[in-house]
Amino acid sequence: MLDARGCGSGTNPLSSGSNVSSWKEVVIGPETTLGEAIARVDASRLQVAVVVNEEGKLIGVLTDGDIRRAILRGQGLDSPVHQAMNRNATSVSAGATRDEMLALMRRKVIRHLPVLDPADRLIGLVTLDALIGAVQRPNWVVLMAGGLGTRLQPLTHERPKPLLPVGGKPMIEAILESFAEQGFRHIFLCVNYKAEMIREHVGNGERWGVQIEYLHEPSRLGTAGGLRLLAKRPEHPVIVMNGDVLTRISFDNLLRFHEDQSAVATMVVRDYQLQVPYGVVRLEGGQIRAIEEKPVHAFLVNAGIYVLSPEAFDYLPACEPADMPDLFQGIVRAGKLAAAFPLREYWIDVGRMDELERANREWDSSRR
């Protein structure tokens, strides 16, 4: 199996701001398993793996979107990466200028450029972030933070769920920090229960370097109905997330997946397994044909994170309360594309006492 040592040893003179060893860590061979490729991608934070042959020549790239599409197709983690990679990867020669690379990335709508020598051997990797620096994203974020927190009583008798501590700080702070670190600057909090306590604690978001506005529900409108309180239609896709979800997801990857799919709406989904506690009997004509002992059934379930294109707001119910599944069903009934983004990062829904205790044990250590 090829590793980083299988490619050319030259450095990339164009990879300003990047660590040379980091790109070498994501160079893999075509028989590398999908599971190992995922581990390499996650460890490097480059969100891409570059696939080369025995001579170190580029044969494909594997982006986060390629990985998630492979998972949705049912490709196993032990399958070879060449079954999931993009064989038509765009690359650049070592002589290209910064402006040429930026123009190529924008034209192709890509964030990574393998750098090749005259013999097509990989000698480096240019990233969009290294070329232009940290990006401030124009996308709005809406956090649904108005729930009663009934399952966390009596803790929520005195304070709303977003202010319950996780890792030594209120849960809402951990969520806001995550969005701020990833370049999101305009955040709406949809509030109802003990709204003034949330306003008083969070304020205008200045301490996180973000702008926070409040959508105050006069009565409970559901996880989608509160979006009607936005003063104007958004110009870019909006991320909507339940205010009790803690996750290490890359929201940039989520947005790119949504746009690559040309979706009107995207729902983040996660694996959920349910085991039947008995032997399941298969009958045919009244006769037992097989007995399956305690089978496990796997499902994809809603993770409480969504991306909505501006068009999706046309399908919000006009007046009555509505939840996100209602909105998605309306979009599907209209014949529009609703995509599923399979989650593989850390995620927890802090809805019950045991989940709150688990989040306090895990949240700080879940950061890669």
Residue 33: count of CB within 10 angstroms of its CB: 16
User: Could you tell me if 277 and 294 are in contact, meaning their C-beta atoms sit under 8 angstroms apart?
Assistant: yes
274, burial (CB in 10 Å: exposed 0-12, middle 13-18, buried 19+): exposed
Cα within 13 Å of Cα(104), Cβ side: 18
Is the backbone peptide bond immediately before 114 cis, with ω within 30 degrees of 0?
A: no
User: Could you tell me if 363 and 168 are in contact, meaning their C-beta atoms sit under 8 angstroms apart?
Assistant: no
User: Could you tell me if 325 and 332 are in contact, meaning their C-beta atoms sit under 8 angstroms apart?
Assistant: no
24 is catalytic: no
Distance, in Å, from the CA atom of 343 to the CA atom of 83, rounded to the nearest integer, reads 20
For 15, phi then psi, to 5°, come to -90, 60
Distance, in Å, from the CA atom of 295 to the CA atom of 316, rounded to the nearest integer, reads 39
User: Could you tell me if 227 and 253 are in contact, meaning their C-beta atoms sit under 8 angstroms apart?
Assistant: no
User: Could you tell me if 328 and 267 are in contact, meaning their C-beta atoms sit under 8 angstroms apart?
Assistant: yes
As a 3-state breakdown, the chain gives helix, strand, coil percent values, each rounded to 5, of 35, 30, 35
Structure tokens at 35: 């599971």
Query: Which among 20, 48, 102 has a CA at the least distance from the CA of 256?
Result: 48
Q: Could you write out the DSSP letters of every residue in 86-105?
A: BTT---EETT--HHHHHHHH
The alpha-helical segments, DSSP class H, found in the chain are 20-24, 34-44, 64-72, 98-108, 128-132, 155-158, 171-181, 195-202, 222-225, 251-260, 324-333, 353-362
Pick the catalytic residue: 108, 232, 294, 336?
Answer: 294
Residue 270 CA: distances (Å) to CA of 72, 305, 347: 11, 11, 9
Q: Which residues are catalytic?
A: 294
